[in-house]
């Protein structure tokens, strides 16, 4: 290959990387947009709490009532601070900077953003934090993957349901693992094989034009692979879906684990 061809190839590769970065950012903005209504609603509730208890503290002069008012105002302010901290953490754009990150703290920052949205759609959240593994990651990118998986799970539970979020350490393989499991409609086996392909989607766009682009899971796999990690899914129609993210533990080299043949199982696994 000539020098000019090599130069052009390098330019094209740089353009592709830049476009992928812009696509990730666009998807992040879209994800926040999907949560804007619920987050705005929650902030309005917080402001009403602050205003109403401030008025109560002004009207009533006795120490007990005023102490109660101050406690409620403080709790509301702390709740608002958690939401803004989660928003700033999610919105932070750090190019490809990676650093040791507590995966439990990362999950908590995402859950505070989706809590009201899940409540509005009658989805109960259960967290199972077996360990607090640290992984060397770009926290913003992994948060985006987790947020998209949670939004997908909520959309799969049209009549409400349960969302189980698990964090654990897999020391033997050198991975920290995040699992997002829902009790939704599930994915048929023939579709499960295709879901990580670009532009393939099991969903249609809703009345607000959200969903159905087929880019979310393709980008999620790319982000995970760029971190030296893996994304796995298991699902069955009518029983729900579980995505597992595996990220190399900070300071630990992932082990090469031989894969033994698996016995037949009732749910397809990709």
Query: What is the side-by-side strand order in the sheet with 175-182?
Result: 123-129, 161-170, 175-182, 240-248, 230-236
Domain range list for the chain: 1-90, 99-248
Q: Which residues have CB under 8 Å from 194's CB, separation 6+?
A: 200
CA dihedral 168, 172, 174, 179 (to 10 degrees): -30
- Give the pTM: 0.68
pLDDT of residue 222: 87
Residues 87, 98: Cα–Cα separation, whole Å = 19
pLDDT in tens for each of the 270 residues of the chain? 677 777 877 777 777 766 666 666 656 656 666 666 777 767 877 888 888 889 888 888 888 999 999 998 998 888 888 777 776 766 665 556 788 999 999 999 889 888 888 988 999 999 999 888 999 998 888 988 999 899 899 999 999 999 999 999 998 899 999 999 999 999 998 888 888 876 656 555 544 444 555 567 888 888 899 899 999 999 999 999 999 999 999 876 655 443 333 333 334 443
Task: Quote the CA–CA distance of 214 and 231 in Å, as a whole number.
Answer: 16
Q: What value does the CA radius of gyration of the chain take, rounded to a whole number of Å?
A: 22
CATH of domain 99-248: 3.30.565.10
- What pLDDT does 168 receive? 94
Spell out the long-range contacts of 7-16 with Cβ–Cβ below 8 A and sequence spacing 24 or more.
Answer: none
Interaxial angle between packed helices 216-226 and 3-59, expressed in degrees from 0 to 180 and rounded to the nearest 10: 110
């Amino acid at each position: 290959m000539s020098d000019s061809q090599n130069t052009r190839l390098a330019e094209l590769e740089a353009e592709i990387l830049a476009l992928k970065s812009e696509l990730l950012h666009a998807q992040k903005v879209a994800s926040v947009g999907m949560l804007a209504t619920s987050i705005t609603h929650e902030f309005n509730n917080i402001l009403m709490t602050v205003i109403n208890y401030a008025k109560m503290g002004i009207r009533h002069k006795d120490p007990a009532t005023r102490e109660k008012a101050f406690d409620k105002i403080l709790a509301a302010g702390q709740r608002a601070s958690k939401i803004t901290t989660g928003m700033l953490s999610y919105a932070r754009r750090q190019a490809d900077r990676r650093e040791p990150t507590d995966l439990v703290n990362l999950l908590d920052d995402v859950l505070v953003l989706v809590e009201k949205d899940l409540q509005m759609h009658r989805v109960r959240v259960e967290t199972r934090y077996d360990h607090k593994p640290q992984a060397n990651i770009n926290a913003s990118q992994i948060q985006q993957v987790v947020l998209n998986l949670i939004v997908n799970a909520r959309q799969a539970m049209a009549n409400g349901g349960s969302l189980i979020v698990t964090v654990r350490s897999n020391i033997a393989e050198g991975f920290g693992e995040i699992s997002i499991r829902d009790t939704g409609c599930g994915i048929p086996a023939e579709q499960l094989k295709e879901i990580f392909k670009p532009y393939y989607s099991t969903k249609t766009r809703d009345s607000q034009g959200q969903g159905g682009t087929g880019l979310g899971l393709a980008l999620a796999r790319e982000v995970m692979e760029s971190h030296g990690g893996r994304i796995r899914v298991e699902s069955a129609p009518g029983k729900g879906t579980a995505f597992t993210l595996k990220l190399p533990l900070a300071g630990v080299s992932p082990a090469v684990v031989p894969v033994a043949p698996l016995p037949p199982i009732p749910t397809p696994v990709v």
